[in-house]
Amino acid sequence: MSNLFIGEDPKLEAVYEEVPAAGMCAVITHPHSLMGGSMDNNVVMAAWETVLRRGYSALRFNFRGVGRSGGTFDNGIGEVSDLAAVVNSVDYPVIIVGYSFGSWVAANFLQEVDVPCIFISPPTAMFSFPSLKGFNVWAAVGSHDQFCDRSALHRVLDKERVRIIEGVDHFWFGSEEPLGLYLEKKLDLIRSISY
């Protein structure tokens, strides 16, 4: 595992663990920068542990203005550029695991590139998501999620690609295990698909 900085303006703090035999790298994005979100969040770390367990390389990073990353919060615009810089720094095919605000950033990034994504708790009650119908995107949402409007989510993502996990809210505290099981299945599915 290595700590590194990616990009120049701003430099983004990141942690990378390479699994050379994997052939794919999961880039994990964190929740809202102004609400305490960082690459050390419990959901980000649950995703990190799961992708490594499934044999993927893993990279998590702090958006601009978070932790030791340079710059300041940019309402998602600069954060899309941050995600692009991180994805472009990886030498393997990438999948994105986006949590909360990080899933909205990834959804906007997908308007420019085609990479498979797994969204965790996309906050469709807080942000307007672009349509992702026909995209290689899957989502897991807790049945008690405070920030996900499921009808809005179904307008932008094919219903059969959304999994509702009972008894879970937006933050997944104490529910990291069912999240890990969901991620394992989707990671295995993505690996089986040729891109």
What whole-number distance in Å separates Cα of residue 130 and Cα of residue 104?
Answer: 9
pLDDT of residue 65: 98
Question: Cα(61)–Cα(123) distance, rounded to whole angstroms?
Answer: 20
pLDDT tens-digit readout, 74-84: 999 999 999 99
Residue 134, pLDDT score = 93
Task: For residue 92, give the nearest of 39, 28, 30, 19 by alpha carbon.
Answer: 19
pLDDT tens digits for range 16-46: 999 988 899 999 999 999 999 999 999 999 9
Where are the chain's structural domains? 2-192
Which of 157, 149, 151 lies closest to 130, judged by CA?
157
Quote the pLDDT of residue 194.
Answer: 54
Number of alpha helices (DSSP H) and beta strands (DSSP E) in the chain: 5, 8
Neighbours of 180 (CB within 10 A): 16
Q: Which residues in the chain land under pLDDT 50? A: 195
pLDDT of residue 195: 47
Quick one: pLDDT at residue 22? 84
Architecture of the domain made up of 2-192: 3-Layer(aba) Sandwich (3.40)
| Beta-sheet pairing, 94-99 with 117-120 | parallel
